Every structure is written in C-alpha cells, then in structure tokens.
C-alpha cells in the first residue's frame, strides 16, 4: 500500500513598520508582495502586525508593546500533536507559528533580539528572497551566484549566533586543525571567506566562458542576428512571452523568481533579420544588494540587446511601482540607453471586455508607444512579433544583386538574411531586389565581387 506523504502546512506571521514617508498604498502593496514571496516558499501567512513609527527600533525593529503582542500571539499556539487532533476549520490564531517574516532588511542583532522577544524564528525580506533564489537556482552559475550572496548575508549572522552561544562557542585547545584558542566564530568566518573565494574563482571561469559565447553571439549579430531582451518585474509574464514568441519550452510558473538564468532562443517563425530573444531574471523592490551584484553578469545580457521589451503586469494594482523598480535597476546596470518597448501584459486578467478596453486606452495614452496585450492570445503575440521585427527592419535598405548561376549556393544565405522583394531569372543568373542590413549587403557584395568590379566574373568562375 502506498502511503502519501503530506507536507505539514507551515504558517507564518508578518510584521512591518510603516515609516512616515511611506504611503498606505505603497505599504499595503509591499505587504501583499511579502505574502506572495512567503507563499512561494510554502508558507501561509495567517496574521500581519503593523506599527507606525518614525524609525525602526534599533534593538529589535519593533517597539516593546508590539513585541509583547506578537509574543502572546505566537505562544498561544497549539502544540503540533494537539494541532493534528484539532478540527479542520481551525481558528487561525490557534495555529503553531513557524516563522515571523519582517518586511524590511534588519541587522543581525535586531533579528536576534526579535527572535528572543517573540519566541519563534525570524526571517527578514532579504532572507526570504535569498531563500527563493536558492531554491530556484538551476544552473551551476546561478547556484554559485546565489551561494555567494547567501554567505555574504549569513556571515555577520553567524557571528551574532556565536555571541548568543556564549563561552561554549570557544574551543579549548588547538584540535582539528584549529589554532590554539581560535573560536568557532573565527573558524566559521575563515571557512566562509575561503568558500566565497572559491566560488568567485568558479564564477570567474564561467564568466570567461560566457564572454566567449557572448563574443561569438555578438559576431553572429553582426551577421544579421538581432537581440531582444525580455526584462521586468518578477511574475510579469516574461517567460510566457518568451515561449510564445519563440515556440520554446522555458519554465513558466505562478511563483516569484521562477527564472534565474538567461535563456536565448530565436524568434519563431523566423524573420529577416533573424531575431534572438533572451529571457532574464525578474526584478523586485529592494532586491538584496548581494543579489544585484551576483546577477549583474546575468543581466548584462540585457546590455547586449539592441532592444528591450519591458514586460509589465497590467492587471497588478501595484504595476506603477514595479515599473519604476525595473527602470531603476536598468539604470543601475547601465541599460537605460537601450531602446525599449513597454509591454503591458495580462490584459485578459483585467475584468470584463469594457474594463480591459478602457484600461488599454488609458495605458496607451499614459505610455505612448506601449503595447497592451495578453501573452495568452496568439493574435496579440503575432502583433508583438511584427512590432519587434519591424524595429529591426527599420534600418534595412533596398538593393539589387545578380546571383550568377554558378553561385547558387549563396541563394539559401540570401533568403535567410535578406527580405526578397522581387526575383527574376536572367541569362547570367537570378536577379533579386532585396532589403537587408547595410553591413549584410556590403558583405554579400564583397562575397560576389571581392576587390574590383571587373573581377566579379573571374571570381565566380574559379
């Protein structure tokens, strides 16, 4: 008989301080997002505690009164064995709380004091995001990048934990390769430092590999491959669009930070010039610094692109803030000068037809030149594809070439790299009227006629 292993539900509570310069809307949006992040980690948020203050409490982030309130709430919970016997329609306030999530980044000592005061584990926003990245990292590069960011975050916290452990944390003698009197903390610190150095070396090696690939790709771009990068807030629908535009099977999931690696695919059906689309890691408010640094190299993909598609979830009430965050990160990585099309996605998710039409009109007025669409509608995807292709075709110029009968092997290349407007069979070969990138056309002429014009025939007769 098969027994089904059911994962025990994990419950979280959230605490957040609202500072005077943060509007209610912004504050609420951030809390909703933290709940989404928690859900991605498998937590169900059962209660939220908020406090308005002029600043975070230096000792424990929250004021004493609020700490007591949370302590009461947490410790009122039933024990796990009692919980199993409890009726399914359980009073949420009687659930055992696994973790307190804090909607800001707090210092190691604040976290420790908070834990002591409320009596359960504490995770701040940064740790939540790091944990999601950790779980979702697939490639060797992404794993190493996340590990560096995590170690950077954990190192000072290890010290804090060791302080808490007190004198037991200190080793008596020089055993196990440790220097005489060297504490666990020092050892841990050394280990962390060594591990970070090792990872950095690994990343450097991977980066070199990536640079070579990138150089190769850029070279290919010079030969008629154009690059588009999908960028935007997490969960906006970048991977869904990538799938739709390229017919590829990239991961799509209704969870935050589903994609951590950049994937590159050609637009499908193929176009002239051939367009490569890359999907990138999503952004979020207060992306931990360690992660920004680690993922910079991944995001540099966006810098190589000739065009950015900034994907925005048009059905999210917090879309404006998300849009600003993306603009800011793009500026940080120096990609703000790359031409960009704003793509408002998920319009199918905005209420009824009339509401969607009104919202479309408003967005188009507020963001001139934007695209409003649903990645789930093939017609919308086709229109976006047209828009992308025509962006790359705007620099194309018209030309004429005569492909001698002896050079028909170039025919395939000509069709894949140029738009053929007209074709005619002549005595000496096929005559074409074409459109292509100037560099492309120059190369074609060079192939047909290296050096002087008079040598053209000679060349083809060799």
Ligand X SMILES: Nc1nc2c(ncn2[C@@H]2O[C@H](COP(=O)(O)OP(=O)(O)OP(=O)(O)O)[C@@H](O)[C@H]2O)c(=O)[nH]1
Check whether 352 is labelled as a binding-site residue: no
Bridging pattern class, strands 429-436 and 397-404: antiparallel
CA distance 410 to 426: 17
Q: For the CB of residue 252, give the shortest distance to ligand X in the complex, in Å.
A: 4
Q: Is 363 in the site for Mg ion (CB under 5 A)?
A: no
By beta-carbon proximity to ligand X, the closer residue of 145 and 374 is 374
The residue count for binding Mg ion (CB under 5 A) is 4
Check whether 281 is labelled as a binding-site residue: yes
CA distance 344 to 367: 10
Where do contacts with ligand X occur on this chain (CB under 6 A)?
234-240, 252-254, 256-259, 282, 345-346, 348-349, 374-376
Sheet of 419-425: strand order equals: 397-404, 429-436, 419-425
By beta-carbon proximity to ligand X, the closer residue of 60 and 258 is 258
Backbone angles phi, psi at 460, to 5 degrees: -80, -15
Q: For the CB of residue 110, give the shortest distance to ligand X in the complex, in Å.
A: 29
Q: Is 259 in the site for Mg ion (CB under 5 A)?
A: yes
By beta-carbon proximity to ligand X, the closer residue of 236 and 305 is 236
CA distance 34 to 218: 39
Select from 16, 28, 23, 29 the least CA-distant residue to 318.
29
| Residue 130 CB contacts under 8 Å (≥ 6 apart), including other chains | 146, 149, 150, 153, 288, 290, 291
Q: Which does 105 bind (CB under 5 to 8 A by kind): ligand X, Mg ion, none?
A: none
Tokens of 424: 């005619």
Part of the chain binding Mg ion (CB under 5 A), chosen from 140-148, 253-261, 268-276, 442-450:
253-261
* 258, 302, 372, 434: residue in contact with Mg ion (rule CB under 5 A): 258
By beta-carbon proximity to ligand X, the closer residue of 37 and 70 is 37
Q: For the CB of residue 253, give the shortest distance to ligand X in the complex, in Å.
A: 5
By beta-carbon proximity to ligand X, the closer residue of 253 and 421 is 253
CA distance 71 to 47: 13
Q: List helix spans (H) across 223-287.
A: 238-246
Tokens of 161: 């934990």
CA distance 341 to 384: 10
Q: For the CB of residue 246, give the shortest distance to ligand X in the complex, in Å.
A: 13
Q: For the CB of residue 102, give the shortest distance to ligand X in the complex, in Å.
A: 22
What is the rounded (10 degree) CA torsion for 313, 370, 372, 329?
-10
Check whether 93 is labelled as a binding-site residue: no
Residues in the chain: 462
Tokens of 88: 């399914």
By beta-carbon proximity to ligand X, the closer residue of 30 and 239 is 239
Check whether 234 is labelled as a binding-site residue: yes
Part of the chain binding Mg ion (CB under 5 A), chosen from 79-87, 254-262, 318-326, 385-393:
254-262
Residue with tokens 């560096």: 148
* 16, 145, 239, 271: residue in contact with Mg ion (rule CB under 5 A): 239
Q: At what angle do helices 140-165 and 289-304 cross, to 10 degrees?
A: 170
By beta-carbon proximity to Mg ion, the closer residue of 30 and 239 is 239
CA distance 155 to 94: 35
By beta-carbon proximity to ligand X, the closer residue of 386 and 426 is 386
Q: Which does 18 bind (CB under 5 to 8 A by kind): Mg ion, ligand X, none?
A: none
Part of the chain binding Mg ion (CB under 5 A), chosen from 1-9, 120-128, 255-263, 345-353:
255-263
Q: Is 263 in the site for Mg ion (CB under 5 A)?
A: no
Check whether 278 is labelled as a binding-site residue: no
Backbone angles phi, psi at 401, to 5 degrees: -140, 150
Q: Which does 237 bind (CB under 5 to 8 A by kind): ligand X, Mg ion, none?
A: ligand X
**Ranges assigned E (strand) in 66-199:** 99-102, 121-124
CA distance 451 to 26: 65
Contact predicate 101/128, CB 8 Å? yes
Check whether 259 is labelled as a binding-site residue: yes
Check whether 81 is labelled as a binding-site residue: no
Q: Which residues are annotated as a binding site for Mg(2+)?
A: 239, 259
Q: Which residues are annotated as a binding site for GTP?
A: 232-239, 257-261, 279-282, 345-348, 374-376
| Residues at the contact surface with Mg ion, assessed by CB under 5 A | 238-239, 258-259
Q: Which residues are annotated as a binding site?
A: 232-239, 257-261, 279-282, 345-348, 374-376
């Amino acid at each position: 008989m098969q027994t089904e292993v059911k994962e025990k539900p994990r419950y979280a509570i959230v605490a957040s301080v609202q500072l005077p310069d943060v509007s209610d809307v912004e504050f609420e949006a951030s809390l909703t997002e933290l709940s989404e992040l928690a859900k991605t980690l498998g937590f169900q948020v059962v209660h939220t505690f908020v406090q308005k203050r002029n600043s975070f409490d230096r000792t424990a982030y929250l004021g004493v009164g609020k700490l007591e309130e949370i302590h009461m709430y947490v410790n009122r919970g039933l024990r796990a064995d009692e919980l199993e016997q409890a009726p399914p329609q359980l009073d949420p306030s009687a659930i055992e709380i696994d973790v307190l999530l804090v909607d800001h980044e707090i210092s190691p000592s604040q976290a420790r004091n908070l834990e002591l005061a409320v009596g359960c584990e504490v995770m701040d926003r940064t740790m939540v995001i790091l944990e999601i990245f950790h779980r979702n990292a697939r490639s060797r590069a992404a794993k190493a990048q996340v590990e560096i960011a995590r170690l950077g975050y954990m190192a000072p916290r290890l010290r804090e934990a060791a302080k808490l452990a007190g004198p037991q944390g200190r080793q008596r003698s020089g055993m196990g390769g440790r220097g005489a009197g060297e504490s666990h903390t020092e050892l841990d610190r050394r280990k962390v430092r060594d591990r970070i150095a090792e990872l950095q070396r690994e990343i450097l090696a991977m980066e070199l590999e990536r640079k070579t690939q990138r150089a190769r790709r850029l070279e290919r771009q010079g030969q008629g491959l154009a690059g588009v990068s999908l960028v935007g807030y997490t969960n906006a629908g970048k991977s869904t669009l990538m799938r739709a535009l390229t017919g590829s099977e990239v991961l799509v999931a209704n969870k935050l930070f589903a994609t951590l690696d950049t994937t590159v695919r050609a637009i499908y059906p193929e176009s002239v010039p051939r367009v490569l689309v890359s999907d990138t890691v999503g952004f979020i408010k207060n992306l931990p610094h360690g992660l920004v640094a680690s993922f910079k190299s991944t995001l540099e993909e966006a810098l190589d692109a000739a065009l950015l598609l900034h994907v925005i979830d048009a059905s999210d009430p917090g879309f404006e803030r998300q849009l600003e965050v993306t603009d800011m990160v793009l500026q940080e990585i120096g990609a703000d000068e790359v031409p960009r099309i704003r793509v408002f996605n998920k319009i199918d998710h905005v209420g009824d037809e009339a509401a969607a039409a009104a919202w479309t009109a408003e967005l188009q007025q507020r963001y001139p030149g934007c695209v409003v669409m649903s990645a789930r509608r093939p017609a919308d995807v086709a229109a976006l594809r047209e828009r992308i292709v025509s962006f790359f075709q705007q620099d194309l110029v018209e030309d004429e070439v005569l492909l001698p009968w002896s050079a028909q092997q170039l025919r395939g290349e000509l069709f894949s790299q140029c738009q053929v407007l007209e074709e005619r069979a002549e005595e000496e070969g096929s005559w074409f009227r074409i459109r292509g990138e100037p560099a492309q056309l120059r190369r074609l002429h060079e192939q047909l006629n290296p050096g002087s014009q008079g040598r053209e025939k000679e060349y083809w007769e060799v």
